[in-house]
């Protein structure tokens, strides 16, 4: 069995038991004595005993396994609070109170992320270090390289560009040649339009939800919208700062706030202009916000990468020159 499939087993198990036990507790059939027998320990054993064991068994990185076990456990507790009948709950009310601990952990994680961003930016300014490296290095030093560190690096990058974008210079990024992508088809201007729409819509929607639904729902949805607004602002600023860069042996694709993608020049089968619409596909990576991407890169593996840059002809010519030098 492939490693990727093994890592997915805990999530697949979570999905299966969630569907099965939701059906079991919310229905009346022969499995539960036609509604008579619905004990909470059935979900407790599957979700809070078997599921964490699977996480540690199939996920090699034990830190990642622990985080998955806690996250999946919280989801099981949330599921149980909705599907288990109140008359059958004995231990579950105590487990439900742990949601406050989960909220506290989320707040602590956000504070740690913001502090990491602050020190990362400080380090990049004092050492003139690549901002991407300055952000990811302290996280990877603690968690190692993996899915969790990549996710936290992404979040740290969001806060970096939302709060400290003026302190980041394009010249600090690794690369011999830098190419921008924010002017193509008004990509950055479109992002500003989305931000303004959210800002105008937010107070109106808050009032409607407050009076037509509930104050709690209004506050919750407004808070989540403000968090999404941080993402849009960070993306708006980052797309004009983070370049697509060329070094001696590779291309470093930085687009908005997303994690960088490194493409070895030796892996490129061909690079050519593009003007067609490109549909989503498992074999395609698109780095383009507005209009159709203007560059197609095909790798030796058959994978296609499409870019939208401000100077496509110059970009292609530069890549071809670097490929000739590497031969």
**Domain boundaries defined on the chain:** 3-97, 102-172, 185-240, 244-326
Return the CATH class of domain 244-326.
mainly beta
- Cα gap 55→64, rounded to integer Å: 9
What is the pLDDT, as a whole number, of residue 126?
Answer: 60
With beta carbons less than 8 A apart as the criterion, state whether 65 and 56 touch: yes
| Weakly modelled stretches of the chain, pLDDT under 50 | 1-3
- Cα gap 237→195, rounded to integer Å: 12
What is the pLDDT, as a whole number, of residue 295?
Answer: 93
HEC assignment per residue over the chain: CCHHHHHHHHHHHHHHHHHHHHHHHHCCCHHHCCCCCCCCHHHHHHHHHHHHHHHHHHCCCHHHHHHHHHHHHHHHHHHHHHHCCHHHCCCHHHHHCCHHHHHHHHHHHHHHHHHHHHHHHHHHHHHCCCHHHHHHHHHHHHHCCCHHHHHHHHHHHHHHHHHHHHHCCHHHCCCCEEECCCCHHHHHHHHHHHHHHHHHHHHHHHHHHHHHCCHHHHHHHHHHHHHHHHHHHHHHHHHHHCCEEECCCEEEECCCCCCCEEEEHHHEEEEEECCCCCCCCCCEEEECCCCCCCEEEEECCCCEEEECCCCHHHHHHHHHHHHHHHC
What is the pLDDT, as a whole number, of residue 1?
Answer: 42
Confidence (pTM): 0.65
């Amino acid at each position: 069995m492939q490693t990727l499939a093994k890592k997915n087993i805990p999530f697949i198990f979570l999905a299966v038991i969630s569907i099965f036990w939701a059906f079991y507790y919310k229905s009346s059939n022969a499995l539960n004595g036609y509604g008579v027998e619905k004990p909470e320990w059935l979900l407790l054993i599957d979700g809070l005993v078997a599921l964490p064991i699977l996480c540690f068994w199939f996920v090699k990185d034990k830190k990642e396994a622990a985080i998955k076990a806690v996250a999946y456990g919280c989801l099981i507790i949330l599921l149980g609070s909705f599907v288990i009948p109140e008359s059958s709950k004995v231990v579950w009310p105590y487990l439900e109170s742990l949601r406050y601990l989960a909220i506290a952990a989320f707040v602590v994680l956000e504070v740690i992320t913001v502090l990491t961003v602050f020190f990362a930016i400080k380090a990049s300014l004092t050492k003139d270090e690549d901002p991407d490296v300055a952000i990811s290095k302290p996280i990877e030093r603690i968690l190692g390289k993996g899915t969790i560190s990549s996710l936290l690096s992404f979040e740290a990058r969001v806060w970096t560009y939302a709060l400290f974008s003026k302190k980041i210079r394009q010249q600090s990024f690794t690369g011999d040649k830098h190419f921008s992508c924010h002017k193509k088809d008004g990509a950055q201007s479109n992002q500003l339009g989305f931000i303004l729409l959210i800002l105008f819509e937010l107070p109106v929607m808050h009032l409607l939800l407050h009076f037509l639904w509930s104050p709690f729902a209004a506050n919750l949805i407004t808070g989540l919208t403000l968090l999404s607004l941080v993402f849009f602002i960070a993306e708006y600023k980052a797309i004009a700062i983070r370049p697509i860069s060329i070094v001696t042996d590779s291309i470093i694709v930085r687009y908005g706030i997303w994690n960088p993608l490194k493409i070895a020049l030796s892996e490129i089968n061909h690079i050519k202009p593009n003007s067609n619409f490109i549909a989503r596909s498992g074999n395609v990576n698109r780095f383009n916000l507005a209009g159709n991407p203007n560059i197609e890169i095909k790798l030796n593996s058959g994978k296609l990468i499409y870019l939208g840059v401000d100077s496509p002809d110059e970009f292609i010519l530069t890549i071809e020159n670097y490929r000739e030098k590497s031969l």
